[in-house]
Amino acid sequence: MMKVAPSILSADFCKMAEAMENLKQWNADVVHCDVMDGVYVPNITFGMPMVKALRRYTELPLDAHLMITKPEKYVGQFCEAGADIVTFHVEASDDVDGALDIIKSFGKKCGVAVNANQPVDIAFPYLDRIDLLVIMTVQAGFGGQSFMENCLDKVRIADKIRKERGLKFQIEVDGGVCPDNIALVKGAGTDIAVAGSAVFKANDPALAVGQMQI
């Protein structure tokens, strides 16, 4: 079944403890944390202290999606803060292998993300050593953008490669995912769907989560 990872980017930043309780009640599978540095992307969100604070309020896996330059400098601190999964963008890093090694050394799950404007090929050298491949279906930077269906071709390619090579990484799709497009997302080979606005702005968030767990 598709796992759903609501992005707290669309939650009320003054009510994060409540958001953690809600996500449990809504039966979410993973908590997706969008970290932005204002350099790799034109927006700034939050960093390690937020992950550390959330850790005290949830037992759900914390998935830190780092949209930051030189992630190798910070991945260890996100692991220490309590993230269970740490992913970052290949082209933002000067040392992708080094960053993956640091995350693994903490016993955490590691992954790379492919932005909407990047070819999936940039992830190929790392597919045999990652736990998670994030394929973005919006250009990283903001929640609430429209879903780019053409990016699902990258999911199909990655899914084909993992089947052919018997690889174990999971595929997470991030950006503009909602109950209306979840069947397409699933059909392309996705294991985990990130959804920010489709969950936190829904009239019935629990229903929205359930509709995406297909």
Interface positions with Zn ion (CB under 5 A) = 34, 65, 174
Residue 131's identity, in one-letter code, is D
Cα–Cα distance for residue pair 118/2, rounded to 1 Å: 25
| By CB under 6 A, residue 125 contacts ligand DX5 | no
| By CB under 6 A, residue 211 contacts ligand DX5 | no
Cα–Cα distance for residue pair 92/69, rounded to 1 Å: 5
Query: Which residue's C-beta sits nearest to ligand DX5?
Result: 196
Parallel, antiparallel, or unpaired: how do β-strands 170-174 and 3-6 relate? unpaired
Residue matched to tokens 């992307």: 41
| By CB under 6 A, residue 151 contacts ligand DX5 | no
| By CB under 6 A, residue 145 contacts ligand DX5 | yes
CA–CA distances in Å: residue 187 to residues 73, 120, 175: 36, 18, 16
| By CB under 6 A, residue 81 contacts ligand DX5 | no
Residue 97's identity, in one-letter code, is D
Task: Give the contact letters, 159-188, x = binds to ligand DX5 (CB under 6 A), - = no.
Answer: ---------------xxxx-----------
Spot the catalytic one: 29, 34, 37, 63.
Answer: 34
Q: Give the nearer residue to ligand DX5 in terms of CB position, either 65 or 109.
A: 65
* Partner from Zn ion, ligand DX5, none binding residue 145, C-beta < 5-8 Å depending on class: ligand DX5
- What are the φ and ψ backbone dihedral angles of 7, each rounded to 5 degrees? -90, 125
Spot the catalytic one: 37, 63, 84, 174.
Answer: 174
| By CB under 6 A, residue 144 contacts ligand DX5 | yes
Q: Nearest distance from residue 136's CB to Zn ion, in Å?
A: 7
CB atoms within 10 A of CB 22: 17
Active site residue 34: yes
Q: According to CB under 6 A, which one of 120, 196, 205, 212 is a site residue for ligand DX5?
A: 196
* Partner from Zn ion, ligand DX5, none binding residue 196, C-beta < 5-8 Å depending on class: ligand DX5
Nearest by Cα to 35 from 15, 50, 54: 50
Whether the CA torsion 202, 200, 18, 87 is positive or negative: it is positive
Q: Give the nearer residue to ligand DX5 in terms of CB position, either 103 or 194.
A: 194
What's 80's DSSP letter?
A: H
Structure tokens at 49: 């202290």
Structure tokens at 160: 């084909």
Active-site positions read 34, 174
- Residues forming contacts to ligand DX5 in the complex (CB under 6 A) are 7, 9-10, 32, 34, 65, 67, 138, 140-141, 143-145, 174-177, 194-198
